[in-house]
Amino acid sequence: MIRDALAPKPMETGEVLGIDTDGKEALAFASLAWAFACDIPANVPRPLARPSAPIRPVQLDRPCATAPQEQ
């Protein structure tokens, strides 16, 4: 388990922090959206399958300033 691998560092569940179990995914996507809006790379910098791959954050394109107009 992750708890054993991180010992002696303390590890708590989300419920201890007041995060509802059903809301974890929504919180994760909100955190990613916030990082994107603040130009903070929040992706995995290298493939997990290739730990020797070079680290290079990927910055996504900025969203459109205005909504596309119907033709």
Q: Residue 22 pLDDT > 80, yes or no? A: yes
Q: Of all residues in the chain, what percent carry a pLDDT higher than 90?
A: 0
Residue 54, preceding peptide bond in cis (omega within 30° of 0): no
pLDDT band (50, 70, 90) for residue 49: low
In the numeric block, which tokens belong to residue 9?
């560092």
What value does the mean pLDDT take over residues 4-21? Answer: 84
In the numeric block, which tokens belong to residue 22?
């059903």
Alpha-carbon span 35 to 30, nearest angstrom: 9
Alpha-carbon span 19 to 14, nearest angstrom: 5
pTM over 0.85: no
